[in-house]
Amino acid sequence: MNPIITVFVLFATLLPFTALGTTGNDSCRNCHENPTRMLELGAQAFTITQQDVEQQSHMPATCSQCHLGNPDGASKDEAHQGLARLIRVRKKGLTADITPRNAPLEYGSNEMNKIYVTTEKDGKSIKDANVVALSWHDKRTDNLTQDFVTLKKTCGTCHPQQFEEFSRSTMGTNAKQTQYKSWIDKDRGPHNCGTWFDGNYAEIQANTMTAIPKDGYAINQRACNTCHVGCLDCHFNPQPRNAKFPAIGAHSFVKTPTSQSCYGNGRASICHAGPEDRRRGAGYFGGSFSFPEGNKPDVHVAANVGCLDCHESTKTNKSLGHGMVKRQAYDACPRCHSKAVKSHVASVHKNLSCEACHIQQVAGYQGTYWGPGKIGGAETAFLKYKAYYGIMQEPILIKDQKGRWIPVKPFPMAVMNQKQSPYKPGLQWRFPATLPDLQRTDDAWAYTGLHGGLPENNKALTWLQIDKMSHKLGKARSCDSCHEDSAGRQLQKVSWDYSDPGAAPFSGSHTVIADKTGLYIKGIKADEPIILEKGYTLSAFAPWFYLKEIWAVPGDFSLPALKDRVNYDRTKGNLPRLREDGIVHK
């Protein structure tokens, strides 16, 4: 007999179910606490007691309070009526699969995909390769976004205040991304993540030259929604069962969300893993989350400093409301680095943010283009061709709205088949500096034009994505990385590898230049022949092949010139001397 089953049988013999509080009409416990019955049903892996659940969840909730269903049902089908189930997001159509499972979750070693489901093949249990992500049962099955009806019936029953606060929070309302209602939104501009497709079909179609297939459009929105959170994404923390530690298991919960939960907690590269390690390219975890894989993590990972240790939330400030996390974390630096912060304010480099010096090797997207293709097996006008993955050795520094130098990774972007554009060329900011911290970001973008000249998919609305980077903090960059050029010119050569649909994998490169005349992406090229896949056009995913060097923004993007190069050459690299002279912080 299976040793797990043996344990349960022995437990049942020594301690009757009634001793655990089982009532005659609770069919959930009548079955799931009975290992013999679960074995008969072929679901012995789902044998669990109320005591197990309470030890792992730290909550007295019953099965039906969390999973709904019908605890008065006499049969399996009756008891499972209305049950809220784990959602397996299938590759084809990004559809929600909630069919009953015969096997529990499995746990691997890859942090990005450590939690997975299995399927049977040739009599063996293998990872289900047709599942691209997992969503918990507080998500809607039609579009994969938060299911507030289920949330209110489950978590909200015992935690009404937290539910109400979360439902109004930035994360609960998807408040940032929903503001991008089209590619030509005058207030926010076009964005790397695309538009908020839900409810904006007519507006987006009106400015799109080609017909937008409804099936692909719906899948576009589902792809967005896999990143947006419910209660369980933050507080549910399932793990392999550990006999030595009864509080660890499939029903483990945490009061304070783990840093891993901010990155999808092993269910896929979702949530903040996308905007941090892929889009910005300077993520907290790096490693298996980074593209290319293996980029170094933030120094705070090794120091066991978590997301909510720096980003203020209800953990330290109840007035924020549940689910609200303060994006700006600069107030946290003095708690651990008071001497450095105090001396930095008085140093020559006082107008530089901490990140400006302490972030290097920026990975992730080095180009992204939205063109026609297939998503989840359906035709779409807007497939995000994003796998131009590479590393910029040091970020470009620009001044933010308050005159502070911040690190950014400018990269070229375009969306195809656009009719017109309301934008004026130049650097722009997503959110004005006058907004409170909870309502803004420090991200910029730069419009570079509406261009023809493509053999198909005209016209291309083009811009530079210029997000501020805040993570992957580590050893400071060298003095020469900023000051070697006497004119303050910044130059970064970037190599990348393309691996998305449309063509066989190929390598390429470009150069980013920031000087007194402007900010430029120059010399975008493939370093080997591009072999197209059937049904794809080059202009859909590589408009740079035809548009060449149109990604240019006028303005002074140079770094300040040195006033005393002789003294600089004498003291650069001499850290004690630089600190003593007030050049850098102590």
Which of 27, 63, 33, 31 shows the shortest CA–CA distance to 48? 33
> How far, in Å, CA of 402 to CA of 435, rounded?
13
CA angle 430, 311, 326 (to 5 degrees): 40
Which of 214, 255, 260 shows the shortest CA–CA distance to 115? 260
Q: Which residues are 446's β-sheet partners?
A: 427, 464
Judging by DSSP bridges, how do beta strands 518-526 and 552-554 pair with one another? antiparallel
Cis peptide bond prior to 472, omega within 30° of 0: no
The residue type found at 529 is P
Task: Provide CB contacts within 8 A for 558, sequence distance 6+.
Answer: 487, 488, 489, 490, 514, 515, 516
From the number of C-beta atoms within 10 Å of its C-beta (0-12, 13-18, 19+), residue 572 rates as middle
The two tokens of residue 37 are 């019955």
> How far, in Å, CA of 130 to CA of 548, rounded?
38
> How far, in Å, CA of 294 to CA of 112, rounded?
12
Give the pLDDT of residue 23. 43
Give the pLDDT of residue 573. 87
The two tokens of residue 318 are 């109840």
Give the pLDDT of residue 269. 87
Which of 189, 277, 309, 257 shows the shortest CA–CA distance to 470? 277
Give the pLDDT of residue 472. 94
Give the pLDDT of residue 19. 32
Q: How far is CA 332 from the centre of its chain?
A: 22
> How far, in Å, CA of 176 to CA of 571, rounded?
45
From the number of C-beta atoms within 10 Å of its C-beta (0-12, 13-18, 19+), residue 123 rates as exposed
What is the mean pLDDT of each successive set of 10 residues along the chain, which is 586 residues long?
A: 36 33 69 93 92 95 95 93 96 96 92 94 93 95 95 97 96 92 94 96 98 96 91 96 91 95 92 93 93 93 94 92 91 92 94 96 97 96 98 97 97 98 96 91 97 97 97 95 95 98 98 98 98 97 96 97 91 91 93
Give the pLDDT of residue 102. 86
